[in-house]
């Protein structure tokens, strides 16, 4: 990840990486997606959108989305995460609407948008005013070229939305299916069936998937110790963290970090 400035929750940041399967989730940031190699599937609500090299996508704040990789070709994708509070002129629209189709195919993506994305992904630090100007350019093209619909029209029932939102807000804390069901006022059996049917996994696997995604970002982009990262993303012990991490990525967190270039950090 190449940090532009600040972080996903409080500024603008960029990642240029291989995409993997990622479960349904949501967050406060605007998420810009630009495929530079291969292809991926972007899921928004209950729809799945195919993205090839050169395609542009965007997900507005608090919209459920996920990623799948169905092709065998290696992919690389630029992700920009933008704090919407930095752009008050668009805040009402970002809260109310979402693109009817979140993907623009390569032949229809404006050259200014491509140049802005590549500029933001290719620097380590920059004048914040210049960074905001490039983001402003992207948002201007989005709102002028992409038809919008009310967020309430995006296909997803209330339980799915509430479950995703609950995990997004609480994954760093101790969680259980029973506690979540109680706080969402549903039966734990209904909630369990929802995870199996919608996310194709059980509650624990879904929560651990969110925690691992948070952990890999921290391993790649911070110098925090693995122990602190483990506890910060909600695992009860480093032993559990190491086991779950290796089950998913086939290597240990320390090996993962070394592959990302951090070799001399105190663990």
Per-residue confidence of the chain (267 residues) as pLDDT tens digits?
A: 332 333 344 578 888 888 888 888 888 899 999 999 999 999 987 789 999 999 999 999 988 888 989 888 889 999 999 989 889 899 899 989 999 999 999 999 999 999 999 999 876 666 778 888 999 999 999 999 999 999 877 755 678 888 988 998 899 999 999 999 999 999 999 999 988 887 888 999 999 988 998 888 888 878 889 999 999 999 999 999 999 999 988 999 999 998 876 544 444
**How far is Cα 85 from Cα 91, in angstroms, rounded to an integer?**
7
pLDDT of residue 155: 59
Structure token pair of residue 203? 């509650």
**DSSP label at residue 176:** -
**How far is Cα 53 from Cα 60, in angstroms, rounded to an integer?**
21
pLDDT of residue 131: 87
Structure token pair of residue 128? 């914040």
CB-count burial class (<10 Å; 0-12, 13-18, 19+) for 153: exposed
pLDDT of residue 259: 83
Contact 83, 9 (CB under 8 A): yes
Helices (H), the chain: 91-96, 111-121, 128-145, 158-170, 177-184, 188-194, 203-221, 226-232, 238-249, 253-259
- What domains are defined for the chain? 2-152 (2.60.120.810), 158-259 (1.10.10.60)
pLDDT of residue 264: 44
pLDDT of residue 228: 93
**How far is Cα 181 from Cα 162, in angstroms, rounded to an integer?**
11
pTM of the model: 0.74
Contact 45, 156 (CB under 8 A): yes
Number of CB atoms found within 10 A of residue 106's CB: 14
pLDDT of residue 23: 80
For 143: left if phi > 0, alpha if psi spans -120 to 50, otherwise beta; the answer is alpha
């Amino acid at each position: 990840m190449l940090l532009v400035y600040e972080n996903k929750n409080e500024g603008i940041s960029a990642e240029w990486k291989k995409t993997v399967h990622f479960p349904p989730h949501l967050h406060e940031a605007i998420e810009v997606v630009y495929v530079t190699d291969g292809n991926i599937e972007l899921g928004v609500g209950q729809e799945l959108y195919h993205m090839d090299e050169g395609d542009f996508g965007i997900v507005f704040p608090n919209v459920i989305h996920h990623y799948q990789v169905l092709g065998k070709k290696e992919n690389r994708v630029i992700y920009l995460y933008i704090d919407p509070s930095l752009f008050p002129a668009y805040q009402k629209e970002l809260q109310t609407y979402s693109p009817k189709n979140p993907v623009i195919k390569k032949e229809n993506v404006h050259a200014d948008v491509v140049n802005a994305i590549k500029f933001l992904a290719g620097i380590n630090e920059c004048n914040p005013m210049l960074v905001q100007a490039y983001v402003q350019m992207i948002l201007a093209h989005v709102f002028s070229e992409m038809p919008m619909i009310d967020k309430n029209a995006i296909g997803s029932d209330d339980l799915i939305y509430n479950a995703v939102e609950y995990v997004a807000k609480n994954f760093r804390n101790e969680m259980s299916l029973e506690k979540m069901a109680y706080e969402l006022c549903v039966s734990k059996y209904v909630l369990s069936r929802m995870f199996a049917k919608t996310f194709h996994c059980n509650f624990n696997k879904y929560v651990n998937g969110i925690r691992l995604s948070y952990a890999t970002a921290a391993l790649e982009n911070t110098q925090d110790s693995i122990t602190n990262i483990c506890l910060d993303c909600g695992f009860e012990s480093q032993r559990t963290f190491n086991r779950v991490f290796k089950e998913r990525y086939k290597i240990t967190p320390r090996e993962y970090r070394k592959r990302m270039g951090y070799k001399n950090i105190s663990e």
